[in-house]
């Protein structure tokens, strides 16, 4: 079997378009011996750099490049990509050195483009970002950072995030991403539970770093007493001590947002996120020539997904529009002026965007994607009507890379999150882990996919519980149609029973979102002595719409026409929805509030019931 390795990647001043022939016809397996190389001269590279002795094993870089190029070559051929792709078999591998630095050598293409509201901008080429990360790596080692040491990284969208991430990979340190919205108690929890030795932040967060924390402190920006200036890194030599890393060495430690319980500590390795996000690159459809924008805040997994690994795996430009407050009109203007080609944002962002006058499609825009929570079909329809582009849903977790998605060029089904992405075998299982058409989304572990966490730090019992019977259990529910498309139902703890029927909050929320007065909505069960529970809607109205019994009546009767009798929304309450600091609705909090109210026979100040209007 032959596979092509064509890329602009520079492998220690080597890289090329090469043709390889493998010894065994194992579809998508990139771990075998190279037998034949087509040689030639490209970009001034001597032909002898392109030769490999017969039988010599491929390097980690070559295996990664082969897997990457296969997905790029088959970006619109889902069947072939899914059937033949296999994760590269890596042992000793350092993504920053073995991929990023190789690709960056002599590469003046823009890797990172930060544009701040007001006009200030930073542009760094691949070569510049590689060199700056080398300086930061040396600086961290000079501060005593050893392999395995944890670094709490709490910064807004500044170049230091990208420099520190690359530097940490190079020296084997572990990054603990933390949102700048975290409170002092949340930052303390991260410092203590992660065992961090270093914290890096800026002046906006400095007052929330516990004064008694026994950590070294590095400050990005103006100098402050007691803090080491980050800029000192660039007075250092660029030579850092090379640290060999294994593919399964720890690299990232994420604290999940914890909508229902205390945050879990998700541990990722040098391959699970860096290499695993080849699946995310494929889902979004990022190509080497692209300018990619992902609207996401630092500190959360989606920022690493689509502001770092997926675009850098493709060799694209990462563009970030940074503003203290999200303004859809400004974002739309930047999309057109910059020439963004691929755009990914969470549902909250898309819902805010459609409330603006969408106008003409931004001039270069080609791909639209959404992840984080299911995107309501009416949002997809409005954008398609205005721009002629379809927002393609994708699905994954902090614990994984993109698992399921609607990839470019494929037929979409409204409301579906797509099909399993290359490299992942997905099953729906019941409580006995038997496959079924509707059940929990589970990832098969034989073979174990690269884009999956190592486990939960210091909690082997929870890790075993989530990875039993040869499956990783996501805790999310979905159903499968006859063509293999998956439809999200909800979190296992969000779905509830009403008159012996199972009710998916997402389906009801999508119906209510079609009403022009509804900006956001969360459906929770309201305990009922006859029906077990009835659906209740907590609703945030669009700007300028004051809550009233008239609007409540209109929305409830609108929903009544849309939904089957057992799904009928029987209560509505107007309020701002509580959210995690990552922007996800705290449905568990609303469930508890409603359960307490029913128990105490209370009614919210802006709560209305369907029976009031019937």
CATH of the domain at 236: 3.40.50.980
Evaluate whether 528 touches 565 at the Cβ level (below 8 Å): no
Q: To 5 degrees, how large is the angle CA 481–CA 479–CA 343?
A: 90
- Where does the pLDDT of residue 113 fall: very low under 50, low under 70, confident under 90, or very high at 90 and above? very high
Closest CA to 395 of 491, 459, 523: 491
Is 156 within a domain? yes
Length of the chain counted residue by residue: 614
H or E element, residue 26: none
User: Do 173 and 259 fall within a single domain?
Assistant: yes
Other beta carbons within 10 angstroms of residue 429's beta carbon come to: 16
Residue position matching structure tokens 């205005």: 386
Average pLDDT over residues 137-160: 96
Looking at 221, 239, 270, the residue that finishes a domain is 270
Between CA 62 and CA 608 the distance in angstroms is 63
Percentage of residues in the chain having pLDDT higher than 90: 69
Give the model's pLDDT for residue 257.
58
In terms of DSSP bridges, do strands 532-541 and 518-528 run parallel, antiparallel, or are they unpaired? antiparallel
Cα torsion 202, 203, 208, 210: sign? positive
- Please determine, for residue 5, whether its predicted confidence score (pLDDT) is greater than 70: no
| 112 beta partners | 124, 318
- Please determine, for residue 384, whether its predicted confidence score (pLDDT) is greater than 90: yes
Give the model's pLDDT for residue 577.
92
Q: What are φ and ψ of residue 75, in 5° steps?
A: -65, -25
User: Do 83 and 137 fall within a single domain?
Assistant: no
Give the model's pLDDT for residue 582.
65
Give the model's pLDDT for residue 381.
92
- Please determine, for residue 17, whether its predicted confidence score (pLDDT) is greater than 70: no
User: Do 79 and 136 fall within a single domain?
Assistant: no
Is 594 within a domain? yes
Average pLDDT over residues 573-591: 84
Between CA 257 and CA 146 the distance in angstroms is 28
Q: Given phi > 0 = left and psi -120 to 50 = alpha, else beta, which region is 485?
A: beta
Using DSSP's 3-state secondary structure scheme, residue 111 falls into: strand
Between CA 212 and CA 215 the distance in angstroms is 9
The mean-pLDDT minimum among 325-334, 476-485, 562-571, 580-589 falls in 580-589
Using DSSP's 3-state secondary structure scheme, residue 476 falls into: strand
Evaluate whether 355 touches 148 at the Cβ level (below 8 Å): no
- Which pair of structure tokens corresponds to residue 119? 């006009």
Closest CA to 159 of 108, 106, 221, 207: 221
User: Do 140 and 202 fall within a single domain?
Assistant: yes
User: Do 72 and 172 fall within a single domain?
Assistant: no
Half-sphere exposure of 358 (CA within 13 A, CB side): 19
Evaluate whether 45 touches 18 at the Cβ level (below 8 Å): no
- Please determine, for residue 54, whether its predicted confidence score (pLDDT) is greater than 70: no
User: Do 76 and 139 fall within a single domain?
Assistant: no
User: Do 73 and 159 fall within a single domain?
Assistant: no
Evaluate whether 309 touches 273 at the Cβ level (below 8 Å): yes
Give the model's pLDDT for residue 49.
33
Give the model's pLDDT for residue 517.
93
| 537 beta partners | 523, 572
Give the model's pLDDT for residue 56.
66
User: Do 46 and 143 fall within a single domain?
Assistant: no
DSSP output for 388-431: S-PEEEEEE-TTBSEEEE--TTSPP-TT--BEEPTT--EEEE-T
Give the model's pLDDT for residue 380.
92
User: Do 83 and 138 fall within a single domain?
Assistant: no
- Which pair of structure tokens corresponds to residue 510? 């999508």
Give the model's pLDDT for residue 415.
87
Is 476 within a domain? no
Question: What is the residue-averaged pLDDT of the chain?
Answer: 87
CA 362 vs CA 88, 335, 340: distances in Å: 37, 6, 8
Between CA 143 and CA 149 the distance in angstroms is 11
User: Do 265 and 138 fall within a single domain?
Assistant: yes
Looking at 89, 124, 147, the residue that finishes a domain is 89
Give the model's pLDDT for residue 320.
97
Using DSSP's 3-state secondary structure scheme, residue 16 falls into: coil
Give the model's pLDDT for residue 7.
41
CA 210 vs CA 165, 196, 201: distances in Å: 23, 13, 13
Instruction: Render pLDDT for 162-207 as a digit per residue (tens, 0 to 9).
Output: 999 999 999 999 999 998 988 888 899 899 999 999 999 999 999 9
- Please name the residues in contact with 353: beta carbons below 8 A apart, sequence gap of 6 or more: 328, 331, 332, 345, 383
Between CA 77 and CA 237 the distance in angstroms is 46
Looking at 89, 115, 146, the residue that finishes a domain is 89
Average pLDDT over residues 279-292: 98
Percentage of residues in the chain having pLDDT higher than 70: 89
Closest CA to 573 of 536, 602, 612, 519: 536
- Please determine, for residue 300, whether its predicted confidence score (pLDDT) is greater than 60: yes
Is 143 within a domain? yes
Give the model's pLDDT for residue 27.
31
Between CA 139 and CA 134 the distance in angstroms is 9
Is 378 within a domain? no
Is 439 within a domain? no
In terms of DSSP bridges, do strands 438-444 and 426-429 run parallel, antiparallel, or are they unpaired? antiparallel
Domain containing 79: what range? 2-89
Between CA 83 and CA 104 the distance in angstroms is 31
Between 149 and 589, name the one with better pLDDT.
149
- Which pair of structure tokens corresponds to residue 228? 């080491």
Residue position matching structure tokens 């961290």: 140
Q: To 5 degrees, how large is the angle CA 341–CA 424–CA 64?
A: 65
Is 399 within a domain? no
Q: Given phi > 0 = left and psi -120 to 50 = alpha, else beta, which region is 44?
A: left
Torsion of CA 382, 385, 386, 388, to 10 degrees: 120
The mean-pLDDT minimum among 44-58, 341-355, 391-405 falls in 44-58
CA 168 vs CA 125, 196, 250, 573: distances in Å: 19, 13, 11, 47
- Please determine, for residue 21, whether its predicted confidence score (pLDDT) is greater than 80: no
Instruction: Render pLDDT for 226-270 as a digit per residue (tens, 0 to 9).
Output: 999 999 999 967 789 999 999 999 999 998 854 445 678 999 999
Average pLDDT over residues 272-293: 98
Other beta carbons within 10 angstroms of residue 269's beta carbon come to: 23
Highest mean pLDDT among 12-16, 20-24, 66-70, 185-189: 66-70
Between 414 and 15, name the one with better pLDDT.
414
Highest mean pLDDT among 462-466, 488-492, 498-502: 462-466
CA 300 vs CA 217, 275, 580, 583: distances in Å: 22, 18, 11, 10
DSSP output for 543-578: TT----HHHHHHHHHHHHHHS-GGG---EEEE-PPP
Average pLDDT over residues 2-13: 37
Give the model's pLDDT for residue 563.
84
Give the model's pLDDT for residue 118.
81
- CATH number of the structural domain spanning residue 505: 3.30.300.30
User: Do 84 and 213 fall within a single domain?
Assistant: no
Other beta carbons within 10 angstroms of residue 462's beta carbon come to: 14
Between CA 428 and CA 423 the distance in angstroms is 17
Is 369 within a domain? no
- Our count of domains for the chain comes to 3
User: Do 265 and 136 fall within a single domain?
Assistant: yes
């Amino acid at each position: 079997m032959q596979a092509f390795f064509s890329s602009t990647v520079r492998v220690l001043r080597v890289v090329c378009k090469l043709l390889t022939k493998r010894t065994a016809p194992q579809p998508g397996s990139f771990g075998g011996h190279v037998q034949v190389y087509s040689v030639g001269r490209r970009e001034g590279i001597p032909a002898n750099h392109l030769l490999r002795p017969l039988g010599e094993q491929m390097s980690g870089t070559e295996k990664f490049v082969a897997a990457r190029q296969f997905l790029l070559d088959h970006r619109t051929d889902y069947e072939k990509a899914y059937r033949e792709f296999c994760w590269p078999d890596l042992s000793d591998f350092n993504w920053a050195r073995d991929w990023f630095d190789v690709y960056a050598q002599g590469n003046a293409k823009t890797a990172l483009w930060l544009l701040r509201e007001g006009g200030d901008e930073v542009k760094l080429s691949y070569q510049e970002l590689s060199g700056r990360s080398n300086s930061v790596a040396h600086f961290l080692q000079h501060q005593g950072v050893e392999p395995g040491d944890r670094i709490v990284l709490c910064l807004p969208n500044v170049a230091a995030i990208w420099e520190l991430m690359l530097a940490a990979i190079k020296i084997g340190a572990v990054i603990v991403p933390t949102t700048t919205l975290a409170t002092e108690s949340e930052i303390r929890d991260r410092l203590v539970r992660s065992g961090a030795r270093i914290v890096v932040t800026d002046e906006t967060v400095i007052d929330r770093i516990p004064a008694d924390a026994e950590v070294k402190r590095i400050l990005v920006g103006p100098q402050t007493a007691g803090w080491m200036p980050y800029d000192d890194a660039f007075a250092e030599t660029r030579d850092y001590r090379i640290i060999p890393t294994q593919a399964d060495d720890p690299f990232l430690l994420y604290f999940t947002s914890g909508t229902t319980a205390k945050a879990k500590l998700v541990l990722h390795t040098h391959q699970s996120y860096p290499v695993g996000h080849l699946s995310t690159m494929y889902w979004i459809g990022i190509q080497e020539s692209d300018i990619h924008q992902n609207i996401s805040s630092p500190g959360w997994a989606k920022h690493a997904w689509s502001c770092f690994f997926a675009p850098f795996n493709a060799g694209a430009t990462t563009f970030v529009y940074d503003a203290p407050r999200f303004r859809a009109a400004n974002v739309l203007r930047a999309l057109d002026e910059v020439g963004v080609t691929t755009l990914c944002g969470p549902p909250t962002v898309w819902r805010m965007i459609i409330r603006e006058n969408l106008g003409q499609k931004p001039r270069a825009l080609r791909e639209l994607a959404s992840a984080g929570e299911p995107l309501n079909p009416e949002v997809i329809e409005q954008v398609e009507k205005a721009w002629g582009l379809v927002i393609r849903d994708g699905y994954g977790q902090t614990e994984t890379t993109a698992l399921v998605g609607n990839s470019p060029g494929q037929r979409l089904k409204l409301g579906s999150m797509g099909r399993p992405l290359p490299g992942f075998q997905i099953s729906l299982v019941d409580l006995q882990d038997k496959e079924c058409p509707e059940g929990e989304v589970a990832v098969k572990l034989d073979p174990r996919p690269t884009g999956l966490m190592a486990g939960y730090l210091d909690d082997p019992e929870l890790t075993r519980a989530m990875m039993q019977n040869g499956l990783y259990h996501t805790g999310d529910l979905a159903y499968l149609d006859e063509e293999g498309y998956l439809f999200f139902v909800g979190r296992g703890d969000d779905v509830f029973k009403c008159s012996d029927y199972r009710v998916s909050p997402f389906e009801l929320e999508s119906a209510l979102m079609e009403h022009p007065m509804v900006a956001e909505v969360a459906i929770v069960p309201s305990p009922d002595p006859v029906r077990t529970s009835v659906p209740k809607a907590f609703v945030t109205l669009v700007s300028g719409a004051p809550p009233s019994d008239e609007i409540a009546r209109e929305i409830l009767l609108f929903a009544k026409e849309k939904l089957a009798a057992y799904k009928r929304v029987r209560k509505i309450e107007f309020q701002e929805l509580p959210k995690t600091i990552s922007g996800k609705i705290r449905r568990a909090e609303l469930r508890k509030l409603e359960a307490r109210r029913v128990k105490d026979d209370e009614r919210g100040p802006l709560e209305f019931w369907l029976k009031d209007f019937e």
